[in-house]
């Protein structure tokens, strides 16, 4: 939407579903099926609320079109696929997104949040969601008979040593004020008990906020794994191999944008409905990848409440998490959150594109 001179602001709605059977009991629950990237036939459902995100985007388009006299600049509305797989934003950029549309100075998105009540939003400063890397480590051994380990080199034992060594990366080597996670989520090796296999593969999930911490994590995994292989007498041509299958950057809110959005949201939704934003988390989302190619881009991520008020009361008083969070088959968006989400998002956009 081009509307005269002014900033270029992008509003993004992710629109993908999850391979899961919805069990909300709602009359409009999903009955669709689809095929996953791995070719598995599955039920699909919007149990992360991305259907609400698309509905907000349509509502925002209507509001901004009707309010054209009250703002100035360029508004870009983007529907993004494949957020859950952390691939869509990066692929859109690599596919030439910014040769098709002007580069925004602000990239803004919001997400359903099962902690805040429908009608409210959470607005948090700074670090919101962690960057993430998926790393594949292959440890080579020398295969042999299970009865003659001395005549082989056992990659299963080596992977066990490596996994235990990794535990000291976060606890002993990275600055303790820097939030990082290293999880070995899968390990595969061997077939039967009496064969020593010739390789073991592990898939790691790394989470981080600062780029130096990310580089340290990756370098230390390689250092420790190489060290294990060397300590087990592996020859130079059978050293471990590393693949980085995916990397996404963290979501970090611009404090200036938060300060701009807050009073406008307080006025539109009521001061009592603006929550502080959930604490910094090590979960991830790929939204900021849309902004990464742009120098000095500012990022804003809002949490739109979709819960029943009783859920929120229990969380605020006792810290009890709602039973049905995003990705749960019974996750649902309370309907007042649709109108409130449109209002919150449009309020922020009208403020960012306010006439000088
Ligand atoms: Zn989501
Ligand atoms: Zn999700």
Which ligand has an atom closest to residue 111 CA? Answer: 1
Neighbours of ion ligand 1 (CB under 5 A): 48
Neighbours of ion ligand 2 (CB under 5 A): 48
* pLDDT, mean of residues 330-347: 97
User: Range(s) for CATH 3.30.70.360 in the chain?
Assistant: 131-247
CA–centroid distance, residue 283 to ligand 2 (Å):
10
C-alpha 132/C-alpha 282 separation (Å) is 9
Is residue 170 within 8 Å of 103, Cβ to Cβ? no
CA–centroid distance, residue 111 to ligand 1 (Å):
6
CA–centroid distance, residue 16 to ligand 1 (Å):
8
Torsion sign, CA atoms 237, 173, 154, 201: negative
Torsion sign, CA atoms 321, 323, 329, 334: negative
C-alpha 97/C-alpha 246 separation (Å) is 20
pLDDT at 100: 96
CA–centroid distance, residue 4 to ligand 2 (Å):
36
CA–centroid distance, residue 84 to ligand 2 (Å):
5
Torsion sign, CA atoms 18, 20, 23, 26: positive
Distance from CA of residue 320 to its chain's centroid?
A: 23
In tens, the pLDDT along 68-88 reads 999 999 999 999 999 998 999
In tens, the pLDDT along 277-288 reads 988 999 999 999
CA–centroid distance, residue 336 to ligand 1 (Å):
19
C-alpha 234/C-alpha 348 separation (Å) is 58
User: Range(s) for CATH 3.40.630.10 in the chain?
Assistant: 2-130+250-352
Q: Which CATH class is domain 2-130+250-352?
A: alpha beta
Which ligand has an atom closest to residue 327 CA? Answer: 2
Query: Does pLDDT of 323 surpass 90?
Result: no
CA–centroid distance, residue 231 to ligand 2 (Å):
42
In tens, the pLDDT along 166-204 reads 999 999 999 999 999 999 999 999 999 999 999 999 999
Which ligand has an atom closest to residue 51 CA? Answer: 1
pLDDT at 122: 96
CA–centroid distance, residue 121 to ligand 1 (Å):
16
Give how far Cα 86 sits from Cα of 75, 83, 282, Å.
Answer: 24, 5, 14
The set of residues, in sequence order, having a beta carbon less than 8 Å from that of 195 and lying 6+ positions away, is 143, 144, 145, 146
Element (H, E) at 114: strand 106-117
Query: Does pLDDT of 309 surpass 90?
Result: no
Q: Which CATH class is domain 131-247?
A: alpha beta
């Amino acid at each position: 939407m081009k509307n005269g001179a002014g900033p270029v602001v992008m509003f993004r709605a992710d629109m993908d579903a999850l391979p899961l059977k919805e069990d909300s009991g709602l009359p409009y629950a999903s009955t669709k099926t689809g095929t996953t990237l791995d070719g598995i036939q599955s039920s699909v459902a919007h149990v992360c609320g991305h259907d609400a995100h698309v509905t907000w985007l349509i509502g925002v388009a209507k509001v901004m079109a009707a309010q054209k006299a009250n703002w100035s600049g360029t508004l870009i509305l983007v529907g993004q696929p494949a957020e859950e797989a952390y691939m869509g934003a990066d692929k859109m950029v690599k596919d030439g997104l910014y040769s098709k549309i002007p580069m925004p100075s602000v990239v803004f998105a919001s997400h359903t949040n099962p902690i805040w009540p429908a009608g409210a939003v959470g607005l948090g400063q700074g670090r919101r969601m962690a960057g993430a890397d998926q790393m594949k480590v292959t440890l080579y051994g020398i295969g042999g008979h299970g009865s003659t380990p001395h005549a082989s080199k056992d990659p299963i034992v080596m992977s066990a040593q490596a996994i235990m060594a990794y535990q000291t990366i976060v606890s002993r080597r990275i600055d303790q004020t820097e939030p990082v996670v290293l999880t070995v989520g899968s390990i595969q090796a061997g077939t039967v008990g009496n064969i020593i296999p010739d390789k073991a593969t592990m898939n790691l999930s790394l989470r981080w906020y600062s780029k130096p911490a990310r580089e340290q994590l990756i370098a230390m995994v390689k250092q420790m794994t190489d060290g294990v292989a060397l300590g087990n007498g592996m020859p130079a041509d059978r050293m471990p191999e590393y693949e980085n299958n995916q990397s996404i950057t963290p979501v970090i809110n611009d404090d200036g944008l938060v300060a701009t959005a807050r009073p406008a949201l307080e006025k539109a939704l009521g001061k009592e409905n603006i929550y502080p934003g959930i604490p910094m988390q090590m979960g991830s989302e790929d939204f900021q990848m849309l902004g990464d190619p742009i120098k000095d881009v500012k990022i804003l991520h809002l949490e739109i409440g979709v819960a029943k008020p009783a859920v929120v009361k229990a969380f605020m008083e006792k810290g009890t998490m709602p039973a049905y969070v995003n990705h749960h088959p019974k996750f649902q968006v309370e309907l007042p959150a649709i109108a409130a989400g449109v209002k919150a998002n449009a309020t922020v956009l009208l403020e960012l594109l306010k006439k000088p």
